[in-house]
Amino acid sequence: MLQLFSQGIFLASSKDLNSSWPEWLFVLGLGTALSVILNHHSSNGLDVSRDYFLSAETISFNDSNSGRQHSSGHSFETEVQQSIERLMQKGFQPKSTAEVVALMEDPRLESGEVVLIDARNETLFQERHIPGAYLLDHYKIDQYI
């Protein structure tokens, strides 16, 4: 039974807590089931089949440089070059600023033969996006593909 103190604080006896575990278990189960159902039907829910973690190749590369102590073999330029090579293996083609400017004036851009992708978030895209580029926020990739 609950006891009321003069300060307005309720205190439950250990006997009450021991007998209420089925109710706690019910609330926990109902909350879990409800959250799974709502996540499944929400457009912003987590996709449980998606791999949210980095590949072993990327993790091992990042772990080896986690101390931020760059030797001559692991300079910023080396890291950028390794990132570009990894993206090229996945089919992406990096372009320099001069090449992007030339592509923006290319008539193939209007016909759809050339596609420019702006990979920043939506706020930065709205502030100053590349003219003719499509927004593709890689954190919300499912909304664009």
At residue 30, the pLDDT reads: 97
**Enclosing H/E stretch for 25:** helix 21-41
Contact call for residues 2 and 10 (beta carbons, < 8 A):
yes
At residue 29, the pLDDT reads: 97
Domain that includes residue 16, residue range: 3-37
Average confidence (pLDDT) per 10 residues, the chain, 145 residues: 54 68 93 93 82 59 47 69 82 82 84 82 82 79 72
Count of the separate structural domains present in the chain: 2
Identify whether 74 is part of a domain: no
Phi and psi at residue 2, in whole multiples of 5°?
-80, 140
For residue 31, give both structure tokens: 């909350």
At residue 6, the pLDDT reads: 52
At residue 70, the pLDDT reads: 46
Identify whether 114 is part of a domain: yes
At residue 25, the pLDDT reads: 93
At residue 62, the pLDDT reads: 46
Can you tell me the distance from the alpha carbon of 78 to that of 7, in angstroms, rounded to the nearest whole number?
66
112: left (phi over 0), alpha (psi -120 to 50) or beta: left
Identify whether 83 is part of a domain: no
At residue 123, the pLDDT reads: 86
Identify whether 77 is part of a domain: no
Identify whether 56 is part of a domain: no
For residue 93, give both structure tokens: 């083609």
Identify whether 33 is part of a domain: yes
